[in-house]
């Protein structure tokens, strides 16, 4: 078993190594594999299409303190056809997977080693702005898989929502009255006023 992987061995040999960020968007009708550079690249047994420097990725922050920071993917210089994609975003984009990878390449653009996963998320919103009649910018936001993990999908922790989902379940009957209030476990013990 070698001590160094292919990229480490190439670096030790003095070869030039380049890195490329690859992105996979699992759109419902047409999944896309792209990178920010020019032309096509091969990695992980797949072909990745270049965006010609028109794409950008915001900072990827670690989820700290229960927060799930958003990652924004930006595509500049697209035509007005993006407006139709924004209209279809609820069915094509929302709730679908996206993944960012790092791939190392040698001087001959042959992949060195496998893909390194940088980020896995779920696509949320696709918006667009027009900077001119034929120049549009699209922004796609994604959040981590752990966002809103404790809540039911499209739900709230209220008695009305619980009754709509599970009629007769009184588990949340007094949740509104419990804000800043102490309730004993034994209902026979009187509360202190």
Using the predicted structure, report yes or no on whether residue 3 has a pLDDT greater than 60.
Answer: no
Using the predicted structure, report yes or no on whether residue 53 has a pLDDT greater than 50.
Answer: yes
Question: Average pLDDT, stretch 100-105?
Answer: 91
Q: Determine contact, residues 147/68, Cβ cutoff 8 Å.
A: yes
Q: Do both 117 and 180 map to the same domain?
A: no
| pLDDT tens string 154-186 | 667 788 888 888 899 888 887 777 777 666 667
Domain containing residue 47: 6-143
Question: What token pair was written down for 52?
Answer: 């010609």
| pLDDT tens string 106-140 | 888 888 888 989 999 999 888 888 777 777 788 88
pTM: 0.68
67 is a domain residue: yes
CB proximity list for 13: less than 8 A, separation 6 or greater: none
Q: Determine contact, residues 96/90, Cβ cutoff 8 Å.
A: no
Q: Do both 123 and 89 map to the same domain?
A: yes
Reduce the secondary structure of 32-59 to three states and give it as a string.
EEEECCCCEEEECCEEEEECCCCEEECC
Q: Do both 86 and 129 map to the same domain?
A: yes
- The total domain count for the chain is 2
Alpha helices, DSSP H, located in the chain: 6-12, 82-87, 89-92, 159-165
């Amino acid at each position: 078993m070698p001590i160094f992987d292919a990229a480490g061995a190439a670096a030790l040999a003095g070869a030039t190594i380049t890195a490329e960020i690859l992105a996979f968007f699992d759109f419902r009708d047409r999944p896309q594999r792209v990178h920010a550079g020019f032309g096509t690249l091969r990695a992980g047994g797949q072909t990745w299409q270049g965006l010609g420097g028109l794409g950008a990725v915001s900072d990827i922050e670690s989820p700290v303190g229960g927060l799930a920071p958003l990652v924004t993917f930006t595509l500049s210089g697209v035509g007005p056809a993006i407006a139709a994609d924004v209209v279809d975003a609820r069915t094509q984009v929302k709730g679908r997977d996206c993944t960012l990878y790092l791939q190392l390449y040698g001087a001959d653009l042959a992949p060195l080693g496998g893909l390194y996963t940088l980020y896995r998320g779920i696509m949320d919103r696709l918006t667009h702005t027009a900077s001119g009649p034929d120049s549009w910018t699209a922004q796609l936001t994604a959040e981590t898989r752990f966002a809103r993990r404790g809540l039911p999908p499209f739900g709230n922790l209220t008695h009305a929502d619980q009754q709509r989902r599970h009629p007769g379940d009184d588990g949340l009957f007094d949740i509104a009255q419990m804000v800043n209030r102490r309730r004993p476990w034994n209902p026979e013990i009187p509360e202190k006023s």
